[in-house]
């Protein structure tokens, strides 16, 4: 069993491996998909990883913890974990020969939905143990810490592919000469997407782009 224990509510797990692209409907005509479970699982996974990072790095600041968590739960990483724990085999059974266009993050999204199903089925304590013992073993925390994501490059590359202009606008500088905080807005096609802060303009731009990547669902 992927979960490590017999499910108490099997329909929840069937729903977890039912992406919106399958276009299934209930007897009442309601659209069925794992999107709500995915939303819930994303929150639970983020909370557990935040807890583990808080314990593992007692002297690191909020920015470090936030960035490391983001690296560990990004779509590409979770997609790989989903493949490693066997979600592809489960989904192949679910497909039963039907046509389906697979997204790049299919098994990552499905993994989050599975976590949501486990939480509803067995509670937070069981789910936390499952994440720590069965999922975190597939995540290289040290690699995440040592890898820097260039969010600015990701945002600019995305905008260029969409044929949209990118502009950074300095909104202000606060603090003393030694301790300054820069605030920058990222505008894409003239529309403000996100604001960021940092100890210099470059860091503020990176912070704004990190938020924009999340808002625009840009793969990082």
User: Which residues are catalytic, by number?
Assistant: 42, 112
3-state SS of 55-118 is HHCCCCCHHHHHHHHHHHCCHHHHHHHHHHCCHHHHHHHHHCCCCCCCCCCHHHHHHHHHHHHH
Place of tokens 């089925």: 121
* Bridge partner residues of 166 (DSSP): 188
Closest CA to 187 of 213, 160, 201, 168: 168
Q: Check: CB of residue 17 under 8 Å from CB of residue 108.
A: no
CA–CA distance, 125 with 107 (Å, rounded to integer): 24
Which one-letter DSSP state was computed for residue 200?
S
C-alpha span between 111 and 105 (Å, rounded)? 10
- DSSP letter at 135? I
DSSP annotation string for 139-166: --HHHHHH----HHHHHHHHHHHTT--E
């Amino acid at each position: 069993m992927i979960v490590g224990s017999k499910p108490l509510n099997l329909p929840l797990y069937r729903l977890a491996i039912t992406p919106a692209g399958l276009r299934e409907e209930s007897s009442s005509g309601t659209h069925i998909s794992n999107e709500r479970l995915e939303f819930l699982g994303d929150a639970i996974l983020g909370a557990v990883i935040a807890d583990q990072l808080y314990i593992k790095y007692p002297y690191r600041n909020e920015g470090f913890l936030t960035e490391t968590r983001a690296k560990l739960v990004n779509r590409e990483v979770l997609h790989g974990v989903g493949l490693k724990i066997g979600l592809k085999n489960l989904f192949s059974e679910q497909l039963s020969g039907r046509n389906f266009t697979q997204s790049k993050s299919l098994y990552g999204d499905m993994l989050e939905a599975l976590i949501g199903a486990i939480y509803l089925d067995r509670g937070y304590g069981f789910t936390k143990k499952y994440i720590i013992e069965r999922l975190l073993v597939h995540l290289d925390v040290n690699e995440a810490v040592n890898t820097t994501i260039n969010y600015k490059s990701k945002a600019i590359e995305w905008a260029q592919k969409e044929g949209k202009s990118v502009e950074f606008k300095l909104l202000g500088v606060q603090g003393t000469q030694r301790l300054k905080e820069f605030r920058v807005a990222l505008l894409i096609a003239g529309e403000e997407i996100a604001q960021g802060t940092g100890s210099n303009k470059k860091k503020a731009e990176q912070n704004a782009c990190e938020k924009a990547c999340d808002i625009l669902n840009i793969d990082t």
